Amino acid sequence: MSSDVTESLQPCPSLSIVIPMYREQDNVAPMLARVHEGLAAYAGPWELICVDDGSLDETGKRLISEGAKYGPHVRVIRFARNNGQTTAMQAGIDAARGDVIATLDGDLQNDPADIPRMVAEMYERDLDLLTGYRANRQDAWMSRKLPSKLANKLIARVTGVKIRDYGCSLKVYRATVIKQVRLYGEMHRFIPVWAAMVTSPTRIGETPVGHAARQFGESKYGISRTFRVVLDLLTVFFFLRFRARPGHFFGSIGLALGFVGSAAMTWLGVVKFVLGESIGGRPLFLVAVLLLVFSIQFLTTGLIAEMLSRVFYQRTEGPLTVASGAVLDTGNGWAQLAEPATARLGIDEADRNRA
């Protein structure tokens, strides 16, 4: 065997696939079938983690019954109530055991067959995160495509992480990286930005993936999501720029307000004591007092934020996401090929024969 081939051999990593689902009862059976079809030739061990986000329909029950048909590598986590896609995704990531973690939506619009290619591409390009972008997106233009396009451009411009499709849930990550990221609220769409806080943005890439029109159920998102994205973007911007130094953010505003208020008070002092005019009834006096009060508030807020930041970074990190209510883990096995020892990433059968 040549040295070049030997160096190219790389054991196929263990893979965890996380799928959050909410009111997707008609998609359960076809989704599990498509995942197994798409991963049938995957050379390494893999598991499927489905998270039922407190669905009131038959989603949870069907996940358990359908998953039992495939084996213990299909694991089901059920929430007692709806907590949102971000919390469901975080719970799945916390439960994942693979070296690589892949996430996708449970609406059959993402193609699980793209996952093995994305895992191989992530290793070939030496990335920590590879996100898909929907090259031929099958959604309504006005209600889905236009708001998404505007949001993607705004997020990329504000954060500096140049990803063209933040809304695509089909992503693959190195587990060592994504497990350092804690998701909450509705921050799942900003995962590349959060990941850029623990790894270099140059180790985040994208690749085209397939996309299909929704067949069953209904979309949980509408044009109103655009406004929530803007609010979340403000939070992301703050954490991206000032997470380790919040006092600089609040302190800068406080100093600016204090400077303007002090300048106004200085001028009013000249008017009062030099020119001998009354300043009690002037609106500028009230404005100057308010500016100084706001300045003190921002400065003290900055100091408190700095102390909280120090406490956060000094404490021992632990899981921040806990499933609400009962959690049912239906299995702990792995699915893999009959001869995993011969499986290698980045080299096909012909290459092995020549070697």
- Are 76 and 52 within 8 A, CB to CB? yes
* CA-wise closest residue to 73 among 101, 41, 96: 96
Q: Sign of torsion, CA 203 208 214 215?
A: negative
Residue-level pLDDT at 143: 55
For residue 211, list its beta bridge partners: 110
pLDDT at 144: 59
- pLDDT of amino acid 310: 76
Show Cβ contacts of residue 37 under 8 Å, excluding neighbours closer than 6 positions: 112, 113
Three-class DSSP category at 138? coil
Compute how many other C-beta atoms are within 10 angstroms of the C-beta atom of residue 224.
Answer: 9
pLDDT at 216: 56
C-alpha closest to that of 262 among 287, 279, 299: 287
What is residue 214's predicted lDDT score, i.e. its pLDDT?
A: 59
Q: Which helix (H) or strand (E) holds 67?
A: helix 59-70
Which pLDDT score, from 0 to 100, does residue 329 have?
Answer: 56
Other CB atoms within 10 Å distance of the CB of residue 302: 22
Quote the pLDDT of residue 227.
Answer: 67
pLDDT in tens, the chain (355 residues): 444 433 344 568 999 999 999 988 899 999 999 999 999 989 999 999 999 999 999 999 999 999 999 999 999 999 989 988 889 999 999 999 999 999 998 888 888 999 999 999 999 999 999 998 877 765 555 555 666 676 667 777 777 777 887 778 899 999 999 999 888 777 777 888 888 888 888 899 999 887 766 565 555 555 556 666 677 777 777 877 787 788 888 999 999 999 999 999 999 999 988 888 888 888 999 999 999 999 999 999 999 988 887 776 666 454 443 344 444 555 667 777 654 433 445 434 444 444 4
Q: How far apart are CA 336 and CA 72, in angstroms?
A: 12
Return the residue matching tokens 């720029």: 241
DSSP string, 4-39: HHHHH--BPPPEEEEEEESS-GGGHHHHHHHHHHHT
Per-residue b or e along 106-144, where b marks 16 or more CB atoms closer than 10 Å to that residue's CB: bbbbbbbbbbbebbbbbbeeebbbbbbbbeebebeeeeb
